[in-house]
Amino acid sequence: MAEIRVPELAESITEGTISTWFKQVGDTVEKGENIVELETDKVNVEVISEEAGVITEIKAQEGDTVEVGSVIAIVGEGGATQSPAQTETQKQTESVPVQENKAGDATPAPAQSSETAESNEKGSRIIATPSARKYAREHGIDLATINPLDPKGLIRSHDVKNAINAPTQPVAPAQTPAQAAQAKPENPSKPVIREKMSRRRKTIANKLLEVSQNTAMLTTFNEIDMTNVMDLRKRKKDAFQENHDGTRLGFMSFFTKAVVAALKKYPAVNAEIDGDDLILKQFYDIGVAVSTDEGLVVPVVRDCDKKNFAEIEGSIYDLAVKARDKKLGLDDMMGGSFTITNGGVFGSLMSTPIINSTQAAILGMHSIVTRPVAIDKERMENRPMMYVALSYDHRIIDGKEAVGFLKTVKELIESPEDLLLES
């Protein structure tokens, strides 16, 4: 018999949500076979079986929140026969009283579920950790009165503590599912759909709020004439693709190289605050924001100062594919020193991007739009122009450095041959 436990995920991740079970009780599994997918705050993780055998028990269902190290399934020896859990359930079913349904058929009354779930007087199911139940008993707290922070409704110790410390207020009686279904909306002519936020969407919301509350964030803007880089790309893209096994030459490699050069010139932009210390990073791992169906993720392209244009483009493409296929690993997401986000692919003309946590700044790219530009006092020309934005933590970066950084990026993109000298 082998226990399937939630593996160590990352230093900052202590729990996950059961997303999908690939196997059910009674199914045969091979050693190393994926049996369940966990959704964490950052990525989805597939958990494998360390032993071959048969799933005899599943201890957590899809949607349940599980902590690192907790047992979520049992793999036993033998073929796909009835499991001990099923046998025990059958025994319990045989021993429970029988109740009669409307048609007069005799049906067994439902057996009590696990230790972490029970029903209150009104029949609604309460899910809580053992430590939360013990804490509630010690302080005389009714679990039915607690509104948990967990999106799946799991009550934890900190929820009980919050209830103890909360000011006493009259509690309205809880509605049964039948009462809730019969309840009329305040304005029936204005229908709404209410749904739980996914773990990842909730994490994104909390992180963005945390950054906005804990940083002195400002944004500075500039505009870039894209004429020269677009001409260079047009001349070289076919040969580039042919010489680099089909890798396409995009704009992201130019901006990544320009950012690396600017970070070397303005090291405070590549820094972070740790307590009373300022950490100046001497590596250039650039996060590239990628939009997925479940929200924005920021995989990291490592050592961009050591990669050429083709290697950067290839890395960005591979990470984007993994993100959209939900195949990103935790290592793909951790440790970036600076981030680039391109709202221009969605048509954004200008925005103020929010800094990624633990970083000091983020560069926002936007749509390329043909606009009339004054070449000199006598001439006007239509040029492909892009607004760029640098959001930065003013605790670390002074306005002069922020403006200088963005100006350096502008100059390198407008004279792309200089990137060869700066790379």
Q: Where in the sequence numbering do the catalytic residues fall?
A: 394, 398
The gap from C-alpha 188 to its chain's centroid, in whole angstroms, comes to 35
From the list 42, 360, 33, 30, the residue with the least C-alpha distance to 199 is 42
- Whether the Cβ atoms of residue 56 and residue 83 lie closer than 8 Å to each other: yes
Find the radius of gyration of the CA atoms of the chain. Answer: 28
Other beta carbons within 10 angstroms of residue 387's beta carbon come to 20
Residue 388, strand partner residues: 222
DSSP annotation string for 288-351: E-EEETTEEE--EE--TTT--HHHHHHHHHHHHHHHHTT---HHHHS--SEEEEEGGGGT-S--
Between the alpha carbon of residue 355 and those of residues 205, 214, 274, the distances in Å are: 13, 11, 16
SS3 239: helix
**CA geometry: angle at 365 spanning 201 and 239, to 5°?**
115
**Cα–Cα distance for residue pair 345/355, rounded to 1 Å:** 19
Q: Tell me which amino acid residue 63 is.
A: G
Name the token pair of 366: 């936007």
